[in-house]
Amino acid sequence: MIIIKQEGGKIISGASMKDVPTILWLEEIRKEDIVSVGGKGASLGEMASIGLPVPKAFVVTAQAFRRFLVETGIEKKIFASYDRLDVENNEALEKAADGAKTMVLKAKMPAFIKDEIRHAYKKISAEDLIVAVRSSATAEDLPDASFAGQQETYLNIKGEAALLEAVQKCWASLYGARAIYYRAKQGFDDQTVNIAVVVQQLVHSEKAGVMFTSHPITGEPLTIIEGSWGLGEAVVSGSVSPDKYIFDQRSEKLDDVLISNKKVEIIADGDHGTKQVDVTGARQDAQVLSSAEITKLAMYGKIAENHYGIPQDVEWGIMNGTIYILQSRPITTIGNKKEAKSMSGQKQDNKIILQGQGAAPGIASGRVAIIRDVKDVGSVKEGDILVTKMTNPDMVPAMRKVAAIVTDEGGMTCHAAIVSRELGTPAVVGTKTATHVLTSGQLITVDGEKGFIYEGEITAPAKPAQVMQMAASAPHIITATSVKVNVSIPDAAPRAAATGADGVGLLRIEHLILGLNKTPGWFITNNKEEDFVRELHDGIKMVLDAFPGKPVWVRTLDAPTDEFRNMMGGENEPHEHNPMLGWRGIRRDIQSPDQFRLQVESFKRLWKEGYENLGIMFPMVSHPDEFLAAKAMMKACGVDVENVTLGIMIEIPSSAIMIEDFIKCGIKFASFGTNDLVQYTLAIDRNNENVADMYQPQHPAVLHLIHSAIQMCRAYDVECSICGQAGSDPKMAIWLVEHGIASISANIDAIAKIREAVARTEKRIILDAARKRDAE
Ligand code: PEP
Ligand code: MG
């Protein structure tokens, strides 16, 4: 859409109609020509001018379109059909759009415009070249308004007649219902909009995809490239899970490679259009891009970003081994570009002194505060970097005020990792030696995404809260699979709710109690039962209030005995060799009726207050008898157990294997606690950094248990979910959706990417099915 100021059909500013030719060649275009060639055309021209490999192209200018409207006499009729259109009235909108589109399509293109397009087409290549015909809309490519996809693109166009038809179709797409609606909402006057059309050599790519020249949310200088076989349409439309490559512009090194199973590709279909075909054999799992290609692409991305001064969203294709840049437009999701830049500028000079697992995203600098004994935790000051062997619940108050957290021990599901993610505090866990290598007072910078600790300070780092904000404000995508969020700390509930999650798939209430620094036993022996019930009630209520009408699954207490040890009353906790395999979860509650009764009392109050969305989940269940026992105990406490939502976690292989028996006992839902399920299936301690590389949520045995339990739940129509850390991994989320999971509960920081992975996978499943049906 191009806006030309005009009065009574006459252009009064911008380029004069007569001055601007019907055709402009890419080489002659600069970004100032946006009024004539639209954002896409101007951007391609700019890129060609700085030497990027852009395929040959010319643009049918916006003025040519305006001449078409005037010469055919439809201009006034179209605008009349918009007079006082109520765009909120769907029927009226569709009708106006259809009418306008038909007028454009039916009008006879003036001979002089046709001739000029034909002439240009011949000039681009002696033979009939296969071209892509793209609408070029100004608002689509402006940094502050991303209306991508509102106007059409036609691929694989060959021959003059097909080209002329495609140009006219692009013009007509200016009056699509969606386009009219958005323009009206953005306050554009429809009488002054215009459109250009880019005609460009089609790159019959053997591989293609998209590239974000910087991280789309944090703005970090990490180039993210997605690529798959065939034309880029497969990646853009989401019909294939592409390979993903992350290239760090600071170190100029490939950071991460994620190879996907690429089931389909889109290729040219004869002279017209495109078709989707299956990818067969080894190509399905083969890496699409060589490291040389990734490096070169990232370099092109950098050139484009530097030239435009803002991170770019680039479409690329590789034909006969040559890289082509097909399109580039600003990324609109990045908040504060300046911060991202200064961070990258500084970071290159800072030395990495330690590495662990990036457990909570964000970058922060501060002075090291080493805590060897929890008694010293009071000495930690606001803005310090808390360095300790492993955090425990009595450190949570300190964890709230520090800038970042670093531990010697632990993996992605340890206490430090879970709590940090929720607090939005960057954390690196499992460094093995942080408490020895770092010294108190030392100035360091922690990168909680990549797991690096840098020497010294990196100024103006991205603030995690701000990052979360941006992730949260991403457009809400509706998915059939519910995307829920995990909560452990009630005051994180507003942030959790801001993600737009479909509910809470796990509320760990032990964190509520552990934060009080007194064991449940202490409350009971000191006649403080009411305090205990109130604490639970108030904490859970905070979460319920943040998710009105959405399911909130609250898990009954599940803390290993060693986590209670340092608290008041901890002296009465048994010493266990293997607390992970010990007295925890539902097995402990069944043997501690008072402790269970107090929890149930808080749930009862909430149900009574009308929180029907409260569901209760029992942890560490290994046999249906335990579920029945817990249910009976609830009934004895006066709960109408048949009419409340009770479910279990699947954390022990036995519960996955016996899921049908659980279902027959009346569970309403089941949720995979993969943090434990993995450790109990593979005999790998989840918190032991020495075996961290063997801790594999995607181990075939784990997947086998998950798959069979999902199928059983589906057969009985029982909601099957996941709340373990594996659910925050997009790759796993894709697998789970493919295998029929009903909901996924992820960490706050992962919701946006999980929702996107889920949406893409669902769309792909639907598309695959539709295409299969069409083929039959
Ligand atoms: C799990 O085991 O996956 C889980 C979510 O529970 P926790 O991490 O609290 O053991
Ligand atoms: Mg667990």
CA separation for the pair 746, 741 (Å, rounded): 14
Report residue 332's pLDDT band, with 50, 70 and 90 as the boundaries: low
CB under 5 Å of ion ligand 2: residues: 651, 673, 676
Which of 651, 677, 702 has most ligand 1 atoms within 8 Å of its beta carbon, as the pocket-test mutant? 651
Contact 518, 567 (CB under 8 A): yes
Model confidence over 551-566: pLDDT tens digits? 999 999 998 998 888 8
Cα angle: 434, vertex 728, 496; to 5 degrees: 95
Those residues whose C-beta lies under 8 Å from the C-beta of residue 336, and which sit 6 or more positions away, are 219, 462, 466
Lowest-pLDDT range of 18-22, 565-569, 577-581, 671-675: 18-22
Q: How far is the CA of 478 from the centre of ligand 2 (A)?
A: 29
Tell me the backbone φ, ψ of residue 73, rounded to 5 degrees.
75, 15
Higher pLDDT, 221 or 272: 221
Of the candidates 418, 419, 412, 413, which has an alpha carbon nearest to the alpha carbon of residue 397? 419
Residue 413 CA: which ligand 1 atom is closest?
8
Of the candidates 692, 12, 668, 700, which has an alpha carbon nearest to the alpha carbon of residue 414? 692
Dihedral angle at the C-alpha atoms of 411, 414, 418, 423, nearest 10 degrees? -90
13 has a pLDDT exceeding 50 = no
Which of 414, 508, 562, 588 has most ligand 1 atoms within 8 Å of its beta carbon, as the pocket-test mutant? 508
463 has a pLDDT exceeding 70 = no
CA separation for the pair 545, 539 (Å, rounded): 10
- Cross-strand pairs, 625: none
The verdict on the CB of residue 674 being under 6 Å from ligand 1 is yes
Model confidence over 309-320: pLDDT tens digits? 778 888 899 999
Q: How far is the CA of 554 from the centre of ligand 1 (A)?
A: 13
Report the run of H or E that residue 257 belongs to, with start and end: strand 253-258
CA separation for the pair 669, 405 (Å, rounded): 35
Which of 422, 676, 682, 686 has most ligand 1 atoms within 8 Å of its beta carbon, as the pocket-test mutant? 676
Q: How far is the CA of 91 from the centre of ligand 2 (A)?
A: 52
Q: How far is the CA of 692 from the centre of ligand 2 (A)?
A: 17
Dihedral angle at the C-alpha atoms of 620, 624, 627, 631, nearest 10 degrees? 180
pLDDT given for residue 331 in this prediction: 66
CA separation for the pair 134, 199 (Å, rounded): 7
Lowest-pLDDT range of 187-191, 350-354, 392-396, 590-594: 187-191
Lowest-pLDDT range of 357-366, 574-583, 732-741: 357-366
Higher pLDDT, 458 or 747: 747
Report the run of H or E that residue 549 belongs to, with start and end: none
Contact 616, 671 (CB under 8 A): no
Model confidence over 628-653: pLDDT tens digits? 999 999 999 999 999 999 999 999 99
pLDDT given for residue 4 in this prediction: 41
550 has a pLDDT exceeding 70 = yes
Residue 726 CA: which ligand 1 atom is closest?
3
Cα angle: 417, vertex 419, 421; to 5 degrees: 65
Contact 96, 82 (CB under 8 A): yes
pLDDT given for residue 348 in this prediction: 42
Higher pLDDT, 470 or 528: 528
Report residue 472's pLDDT band, with 50, 70 and 90 as the boundaries: very low
Where are any strands of DSSP class E within 556-682? 614-618, 645-650, 669-672
For the chain, the 3-state helix, strand and coil shares in percent, each to the nearest 5, are 45, 20, 35
Which of 415, 702, 723 has most ligand 1 atoms within 8 Å of its beta carbon, as the pocket-test mutant? 723
The verdict on the CB of residue 673 being under 6 Å from ligand 1 is yes
The catalytic residue positions are 415, 723
Q: How far is the CA of 133 from the centre of ligand 2 (A)?
A: 54
Which of 181-190, 356-365, 472-481, 631-640 has the highest average model confidence (pLDDT)?
631-640
Q: Please tell me the number of the ligand nearest to residue 555's CA.
A: 1
Residue 673 CA: which ligand 1 atom is closest?
3
Buried b (16+ CB within 10 A) or exposed e, 71-99: bbebbeebbebbeebebeeeeebeebbee
581 has a pLDDT exceeding 70 = yes
Question: In the numeric block, which tokens belong to residue 44?
Answer: 């391609």
Report residue 761's pLDDT band, with 50, 70 and 90 as the boundaries: very high
Model confidence over 223-236: pLDDT tens digits? 888 889 999 887 77
Report residue 333's pLDDT band, with 50, 70 and 90 as the boundaries: very low
Q: How far is the CA of 620 from the centre of ligand 2 (A)?
A: 7
Q: Which residue's alpha carbon is at the smallest distance from atom 3 of ligand 1?
A: 673
Span 160-178, average pLDDT: 91
Span 161-187, average pLDDT: 84
Dihedral sign, Cα of residue 73, residue 79, residue 81, residue 87: positive
What is the β-pairing status of strands 363-371 and 312-319? unpaired
- What is the 8-class DSSP label of residue 107? S
Judged by DSSP in three states, 315 sits in strand
Contact 417, 410 (CB under 8 A): yes
- What is the 8-class DSSP label of residue 641? G
Of the candidates 209, 206, 214, which has an alpha carbon nearest to the alpha carbon of residue 241? 209
pLDDT given for residue 349 in this prediction: 59
Report the run of H or E that residue 746 belongs to, with start and end: strand 743-746
Lowest-pLDDT range of 76-90, 167-181, 468-482: 468-482
Q: Which residue's alpha carbon is at the smallest distance from atom 6 of ligand 1?
A: 673
Burial class (CB in 10 A: 0-12, 13-18, 19+), 378: exposed
Q: How far is the CA of 746 from the centre of ligand 2 (A)?
A: 14
Report the run of H or E that residue 32 belongs to, with start and end: none
Report residue 476's pLDDT band, with 50, 70 and 90 as the boundaries: low
User: What one-character-per-residue DSSP string does 470-532 give?
Assistant: HHHTSPPPP-SSEEEEEESSGGGHHHHHHTT-SSEEEEETHHHHHTTTB-HHHHHHTT-HHHH
621 has a pLDDT exceeding 80 = yes
Higher pLDDT, 618 or 270: 618
Judged by DSSP in three states, 413 sits in coil
Span 156-168, average pLDDT: 93
345 has a pLDDT exceeding 50 = no
The verdict on the CB of residue 676 being under 6 Å from ligand 1 is yes
Judged by DSSP in three states, 577 sits in coil
The verdict on the CB of residue 519 being under 6 Å from ligand 1 is no
CA separation for the pair 524, 595 (Å, rounded): 8
User: Helical H runs in 51-190?
Assistant: 62-72, 75-82, 90-106, 111-124, 138-141, 160-172, 177-186
Dihedral angle at the C-alpha atoms of 176, 178, 181, 186, nearest 10 degrees? -110
Span 116-141, average pLDDT: 82
User: What one-character-per-residue DSSP string does 258-303 give?
Assistant: E-----EEEEE-TTSSEEEEE--GGGGGS-SS-HHHHHHHHHHHHH
Tell me the backbone φ, ψ of residue 416, rounded to 5 degrees.
-60, -40
> Could you write out the three-class secondary structure of 337-362?
HHHHHHHHHHHCCCCEEEECEEEECC
141 has a pLDDT exceeding 80 = no
Span 675-703, average pLDDT: 92
Lowest-pLDDT range of 98-107, 212-221, 295-304: 212-221
What is the chain's mean pLDDT, rounded?
85
Those residues whose C-beta lies under 8 Å from the C-beta of residue 521, and which sit 6 or more positions away, are 569, 572, 573, 595
Model confidence over 436-457: pLDDT tens digits? 999 999 999 999 888 889 989 8
pLDDT given for residue 365 in this prediction: 92
Q: How far is the CA of 674 from the centre of ligand 2 (A)?
A: 7
- Count CB-CB contacts under 10 A for residue 585: 26
Dihedral sign, Cα of residue 216, residue 757, residue 261, residue 681: positive
Higher pLDDT, 85 or 283: 283
352 has a pLDDT exceeding 50 = yes
Residue 486 CA: which ligand 1 atom is closest?
5
Buried b (16+ CB within 10 A) or exposed e, 17-32: beebbbbbbbeebebe
Span 622-626, average pLDDT: 98
- What is the 8-class DSSP label of residue 568? B
The verdict on the CB of residue 631 being under 6 Å from ligand 1 is no
149 has a pLDDT exceeding 50 = no
Which of 465-469, 584-588, 748-752 has the highest average model confidence (pLDDT)?
584-588
Tell the residue number behind the tokens 């029945």, with chain if given: 628
pLDDT given for residue 152 in this prediction: 78
CA separation for the pair 727, 74 (Å, rounded): 55
Report the percent of the chain where pLDDT is more than 70.
89
Report residue 150's pLDDT band, with 50, 70 and 90 as the boundaries: low
Span 56-61, average pLDDT: 94
Residue 418 CA: which ligand 1 atom is closest?
8
Contact 410, 687 (CB under 8 A): yes
Of the candidates 601, 581, 597, which has an alpha carbon nearest to the alpha carbon of residue 589? 597
The verdict on the CB of residue 152 being under 6 Å from ligand 1 is no
Q: Which residue's alpha carbon is at the smallest distance from atom 7 of ligand 1?
A: 675
CA separation for the pair 539, 672 (Å, rounded): 24
> Could you write out the three-class secondary structure of 207-231?
EEEEEECCCCCCCCCEEEEEEEEEC
Report the run of H or E that residue 370 belongs to, with start and end: strand 363-371
382 has a pLDDT exceeding 80 = yes
User: Helical H runs in 127-252?
Assistant: 138-141, 160-172, 177-186, 233-237
Contact 332, 209 (CB under 8 A): no
Q: Which residue's alpha carbon is at the smallest distance from atom 8 of ligand 1?
A: 675
